[in-house]
Chains A and B, each alone.
Chain A
Amino acid sequence: QQQVKQSPQSLIVQKGGISIINCAYENTAFDYFPWYQQFPGKGPALLIAIRPDVSEKKEGRFTISFNKSAKQFSLHIMDSQPGDSATYFCAASRDPSGFYFGTGTSLTVIP
């Protein structure tokens, strides 16, 4: 059973555009929702994370929107750049253990 569902599987965006990736979860015990960026041949790197008591968090060009009632959260990348081309994973975790990743979104930003 997939604990975290992620869409779309792939995304192509023009430079300067907005990239939006969505995730949904079922387990209401999850209390930590991070997004990771992964480049080929590298391990995932934490991009931004949110807790369920906050509806939005922004760090630079990256924003997480969180809808607790709908059990959904999304990543918005503003002013997308070619260097943002990578695979993005959402994840959900509960204290003290259990870490579940989505299936990933391959983002390509066209110059």
Chain B
Amino acid sequence: EAGVAQSPRYKIIEKRQSVAFWCNPISGHATLYWYQQILGQGPKLLIQFQNNGVVDDSQLPKDRFSAERLKGVDSTLKIQPAKLEDSAVYLCASSSIRWGGHYEQYFGPGTRLTVT
């Protein structure tokens, strides 16, 4: 079974520029998550999709961050414009919710963003 794919793996941009990240979840997984992991901290949930609908985006800075999951499969996360504090690893995860609510999430390798 192929894992969660993310690209690019690394990205360096200047502040005020735009950037986009791509995620391809495990086949058949209905739920997709985007997390921000700042160095030395735990992942912070930015947005959760169930199929192509948003379940939770309460911690997404909507003035600069946007995400979409067209057709309920792949997803993109965009930052426009980027700030220095956006430097972090952006993790994508997917899960298949089974009966009983087992939320086993499978994480991708992440995209390391550096904003200069």
- The proximity string for A residues 30-49 relative to B, scoring 1 for CB distances below 8 Å and 0 otherwise, is 01101000000111111001
Specify which chain A residues have a CB less than 8 angstroms from the CB of B106 in the assembled complex.
Answer: 46
Q: Which of A11-19, A59-67, A68-76, A93-101 contacts B (4 or more CB under 8 A)?
A: A93-101
Decide if B91 is an interface residue (CB 8 Å cutoff). Answer: yes
Contact in complex: B104, A46 (CB < 8 Å): yes
Indicate which residue in A4, A6, A43, A100 contacts B91 across the interface (CB closer than 8 Å). A43
Indicate which residue in B40, B56, B102 contacts A97 across the interface (CB closer than 8 Å). B56
Contact in complex: A44, B43 (CB < 8 Å): yes
Which chain A residues in 81-103 approach chain B with CB under 8 Å?
A: 89, 91, 93, 95-103
Determine the interface band of chain A, counting residues with CB < 8 A from chain B: 20 to 34
CB nearest to B55 among chain A residues: A97
Contact in complex: B105, A89 (CB < 8 Å): no
Task: Tell me the complex Cα distance, A93–B48, Å.
Answer: 12
Contact in complex: A41, B109 (CB < 8 Å): yes
Contact in complex: B56, A93 (CB < 8 Å): no
Indicate which residue in B40, B48, B102 contacts A99 across the interface (CB closer than 8 Å). B48
CB nearest to B42 among chain A residues: A101
Contact in complex: B42, A99 (CB < 8 Å): no
Decide if B101 is an interface residue (CB 8 Å cutoff). Answer: yes
- The proximity string for B residues 89-112 relative to A, scoring 1 for CB distances below 8 Å and 0 otherwise, is 001010000000111111111100
Decide if B51 is an interface residue (CB 8 Å cutoff). Answer: no
CB nearest to A106 among chain B residues: B40
Q: Shortest CB–CB separation between residue A30 and chain B, in angstroms? A: 11
Question: Could you jot down 13 A-B contacts, CB within 8 Å?
Answer: A6-B42, A32-B102, A34-B104, A41-B109, A43-B4, A49-B102, A49-B103, A97-B55, A98-B45, A101-B42, A101-B43, A103-B42, A104-B41
**Chain B residues proximal to chain A, CB less than 8 Å:** 4, 33, 40-45, 48, 50, 55-56, 91, 93, 101-110
**Chain A residues proximal to chain B, CB less than 8 Å:** 4, 6, 31-32, 34, 41-46, 49, 89, 91, 93, 95-104
